[in-house]
């Protein structure tokens, strides 16, 4: 089966969570509300082995293992627009947009033979899937490969940083391990959200005070936007706790 796809830059998918490479996260720290998303996956899925390779595995009570993907994200509350989306639907960082946006709709974090569903636009999206558009996928093989390869390369490089970080977090935070177990066993799956600041020490020469000063107004703006909204209760709690964390960091600056 063949799938054609071309992005017309309509901006209609530019909302909610946006996975980011670590370089993209740091490059856009002045714009996106950054968090870390931990996503457990039970055995059996086509992308299980890849997720285990790029992330870590945890033992479940039933003697099986879950693979856990750890990724930086722009943690925009569901259905809220990306902070880089202008009112006319254009991306204001088009020239430097994150690799995830360039690779869309393919995903470097999924196995090559596990992309089919991603090539079906959601209702209302203006993606061009006509036979005149780019031939992207044929018989579960990616044809136009350059952006997919670029994203996969970033994911492999990031895994070198994220895997030891994740192992240390699991060893020192039993509550994190328990939360991941709970999510792995839920039939509908789930995620655990962790403050991005927990990773900063592993990212080279990042000035933690400058980073906190960049992130605080962004995170606080999302805390304000989601205040009192029942459908954004969890997100609001994460924004509020994270803003408090950055306030403490800024106050501790010598
Ligand atoms: S960075 Fe640009 S292309 Fe990517 S989701 Fe945001 S607005 Fe869309
Ligand atoms: S909805 Fe489709 S056409 Fe519109 S920006 Fe997203 S990928 Fe591109």
Domain segments of the chain as ranges: 2-203, 207-254
**Cα–Cα separations (whole angstroms), residue 70 to 178, 199, 254:** 16, 11, 32
Pocket, ligand 2, Cβ cutoff 6 A: 7-13, 104-105, 121, 125-127
Over range 103-116, report the average pLDDT: 95
Over range 121-141, report the average pLDDT: 95
CA distance 140 to 116: 7
Pocket test for ligand 2, best of 9, 91, 129 (most atoms within 8 A of CB): 9
The model's pLDDT over 68-104, given as tens digits with 9 standing for 90+, comes to: 999 999 999 989 999 999 999 999 999 999 999 999 9
The model's pLDDT over 183-196, given as tens digits with 9 standing for 90+, comes to: 998 989 899 999 99
The model's pLDDT over 196-227, given as tens digits with 9 standing for 90+, comes to: 999 999 998 899 999 999 999 999 999 999 99
Using 50, 70 and 90 to split pLDDT, how confident is the model at 17?
very high
Pocket test for ligand 1, best of 90, 92, 101 (most atoms within 8 A of CB): 101
What share of the chain in percent tops pLDDT 70? 100
Whether 230 shows a pLDDT value over 80: the answer reads yes
The model's pLDDT over 152-187, given as tens digits with 9 standing for 90+, comes to: 999 999 999 999 999 999 999 999 999 999 999 898
Q: What pLDDT does residue 60 have?
A: 84
């Amino acid at each position: 089966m063949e799938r054609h796809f071309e992005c017309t830059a309509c901006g209609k998918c530019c909302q909610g969570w946006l996975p980011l490479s670590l370089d993209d996260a740091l490059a856009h720290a002045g714009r996106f509300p950054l968090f870390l998303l931990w996503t457990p996956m039970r055995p059996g899925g086509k992308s299980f082995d890849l997720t285990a390779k790029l992330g870590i595995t945890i033992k479940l009570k039933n003697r099986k293992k879950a693979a856990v993907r750890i990724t930086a994200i722009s943690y925009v509350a569901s259905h809220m627009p990306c902070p880089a989306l202008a009112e006319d639907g254009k991306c204001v960082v088009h020239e430097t947009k994150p690799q995830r946006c360039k690779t869309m709709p393919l995903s470097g974090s999924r196995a090559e033979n596990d992309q089919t569903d991603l090539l079906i636009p959601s209702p209302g999206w203006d993606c061009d899937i006509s036979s005149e558009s780019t031939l992207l996928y044929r018989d579960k093989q990616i044809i136009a490969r350059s952006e997919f390869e670029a994203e996969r390369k970033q994911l492999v490089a990031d895994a070198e940083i994220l895997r030891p970080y994740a192992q240390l977090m699991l060893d020192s935070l039993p509550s994190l391990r328990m939360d991941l177990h709970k999510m792995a066993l839920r039939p509908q799956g789930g995620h655990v959200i962790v403050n991005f600041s927990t990773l900063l020490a592993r990212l080279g020469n990042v000035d933690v005070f400058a980073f906190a000063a960049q992130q605080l107004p962004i995170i606080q703006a999302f805390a304000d936007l989601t205040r009192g909204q029942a459908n954004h209760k969890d997100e609001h709690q994460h924004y509020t706790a994270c803003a408090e964390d950055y306030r403490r960091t800024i106050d501790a600056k010598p």
